[in-house]
Amino acid sequence: MTLPIQRPDRKNPVTATRQSNLPPAERGRVALGMTAGAARGVFELQVCTDCGCVQYPPREACGQCLSVDLKWQAQNGAGNLLSSTTLHHSNDLYFRDRLPWRLGLVQLDAGPTVMTHLHGEVGQAPVRVQVGARLDRAGQAVLITYPEQGGTHMADDKMLREMTSDPKYRKALVTDGKTALGQAIVKALILAGADTVWVGQSEPWKQADGLLEIASMPQVFLVPLDLTDGRSVTELAGEIGGKVDMVINNAEMHRNHGIAGRRGTDSAKAEMEINYFGLLRLAQAFGPALAARAADGTTHATAWVNLLSIYALSNFPAHGTFSASKAAAYSLAQCLRAEMQPSGIRVINVFPGPIDDEWNQQIAPPKLSPESLAAAIIKALRDGVEDVYPGDIAQEWLQRWRDNPKVLEREISKNGA
């Protein structure tokens, strides 16, 4: 039975901050297919299209018939634990600091035998188990074995917390509290056990609906934050940057027009100022502080969440300049992920479809409620994934984009959906 983690004591300011070490990260190009699946929260293995043999480890040709036609397919992960062991010594710096560490050998029902990390609630062999793929601190896929029936505090397992960004007892910055989405995110964080939530206000003199309600919560602190103002971002980073464990950048500017729908570039510039340059300012100010605290105890700095849009994948002409700004932010977020990876900070990009807000009034349902999107963000943090596509519209666009981006572009320009 996993014991619940305890709220950490306040850090002794004289104590040196631990430096981050990462597990071995080298993978061949073929093995990165498993990482791509784990980044979406899916356990995938190669399956031979000729003989149907499931492959492990990843390889260039089928181990049974030598066919090179191997496709990545989702697996249910059910199997039997054959044996287990516990490491009490390791020459690897990452594992040496986290011993003891359990490993096990599992025979999957699909066929292969795999070496996995073991959750603390997995019993001794032989026993039925469930295997899943997760991203480790280095951003690479690893296999974890879970019990078929877990306890209440499974997420508090020491090994599992290393590979997720659970908000429990952590301190978060939500960059925009004026919107219904921002307020829903704050409430979801507190419900998930967050210790402190700083909530950005770009115009404190404007009393947005619902802001006083969340400000009355004991865990919530309103802070001045204007992502269009570099000084505002820098000053806030100097005040709380060394305390923040996760940044959730939900601030955005959204206008409904394309190129010919509005004269001039003022609105497009305003969208870029927040959606792209705002992210850049925020990353420059808060990124180094998060990276420096990536190994700072049980509630170390852990994640950066970007609110993007499914329109970042393929431009939606009715929201053309907004789509372009989100595409630019997506590219910047990939750069941020690469720069944060050496410290083990997880960068999570969220690609929702239309949100049920004032800028999508003319779009027919289904639309995402702020509460549903906030719940998807919390789930992404707990699952340790990198890319999330919440809602039916986002899932449909994603599938069409993967099938053929050019066809999707033509369909959108013709039908507007």
Cα-based angle 1, 85, 37 (whole degrees, multiple of 5): 80
Q: Are 154 and 161 in contact (CB under 8 A)?
A: no
First to last CA, the chain: 49
Q: State how far the Cα of 39 lies from the Cα of 268, in Å rounded to an integer.
A: 32
Please state, for a pLDDT cut of 90, what percent of the chain lies above it. 76
pLDDT band at 405 (very low <50, low <70, confident <90, very high): very high
What is the model's pLDDT at position 1?
65
- DSSP per residue over 216-243, as a string? TSTTEEEEE--TT-HHHHHHHHHHHTTT
User: Which neighbouring-strand residues pair with 105?
Assistant: 83, 115
Cα-based angle 327, 329, 331 (whole degrees, multiple of 5): 75
Q: State how far the Cα of 264 lies from the Cα of 262, in Å rounded to an integer.
A: 7
User: Distances in Å between the alpha carbon of 14 and those of 11, 18, 329?
Assistant: 9, 12, 38
pLDDT band at 416 (very low <50, low <70, confident <90, very high): low
CATH no. of 171-415 = 3.40.50.720
Coil, strand or helix at 200: strand
Tell me: cis bond preceding 366? Omega within 30 of 0 counts.
yes
Residue 315: pLDDT above 90? yes
What is the model's pLDDT at position 235?
97
> What letter does residue 368 receive in the DSSP assignment?
B
Rg (C-alpha) for the chain, rounded Å, is 22
Which has more confidence, 238 or 149?
Answer: 238
pLDDT band at 232 (very low <50, low <70, confident <90, very high): very high
* The token pair that represents 4 in the structure block: 């619940």
Give the number of other CB atoms < 10 A from CB of residue 85: 11
Domain ranges of the chain: 32-161, 171-415
Tell which residue, 330, 372, 336, has the closest CA to residue 354: 372
pLDDT band at 333 (very low <50, low <70, confident <90, very high): very high
pLDDT digits (tens, 9 = 90+) for 54-87: 999 999 999 999 999 999 999 999 999 999 999 9
User: Distances in Å between the alpha carbon of 383 and those of 83, 95, 120, 218, 352?
Assistant: 26, 21, 17, 27, 17
Mean pLDDT rounded to a whole number for the chain: 92
Residue 13: pLDDT above 80? no
pLDDT digits (tens, 9 = 90+) for 246-291: 999 999 999 888 888 778 899 999 999 999 999 999 999 999 999 9
Those residues whose C-beta lies under 8 Å from the C-beta of residue 26, and which sit 6 or more positions away, are none
Q: State how far the Cα of 250 lies from the Cα of 200, in Å rounded to an integer.
A: 10
What is the model's pLDDT at position 75?
96
Q: Are 275 and 326 in contact (CB under 8 A)?
A: yes
Q: State how far the Cα of 344 lies from the Cα of 91, in Å rounded to an integer.
A: 20
Q: How many helices (H) and strands (E) does the chain have?
A: 12, 15
What is the model's pLDDT at position 296?
82
Q: Are 248 and 227 in contact (CB under 8 A)?
A: no
* The token pair that represents 225 in the structure block: 């934050």
The kind and range of the H/E element at 296 are none
* The token pair that represents 319 in the structure block: 């929201």
pLDDT digits (tens, 9 = 90+) for 96-142: 988 999 999 999 999 999 999 999 999 999 999 999 999 999 999 99
Please state, for a pLDDT cut of 70, what percent of the chain lies above it. 99
What is the model's pLDDT at position 152?
81
pLDDT band at 332 (very low <50, low <70, confident <90, very high): very high
Crossing angle between the packed helical segments 392-403 and 405-415, to the nearest 10 degrees:
130
In the predicted model, what is the mean pLDDT of residues 5-29? Answer: 79
pLDDT band at 298 (very low <50, low <70, confident <90, very high): confident
The kind and range of the H/E element at 50 are none
pLDDT digits (tens, 9 = 90+) for 203-217: 777 777 888 899 999
Q: Are 180 and 368 in contact (CB under 8 A)?
A: no
What is the model's pLDDT at position 415?
62
* The token pair that represents 346 in the structure block: 């997880």
What is the model's pLDDT at position 156?
86
In the predicted model, what is the mean pLDDT of residues 344-362? Answer: 89
Tell which residue, 285, 305, 170, 175, has the closest CA to residue 238: 285
| DSSP strands (E only) in 178-322 | 196-201, 220-224, 246-249, 303-307
Residue 139 CA from chain centroid, whole number = 11
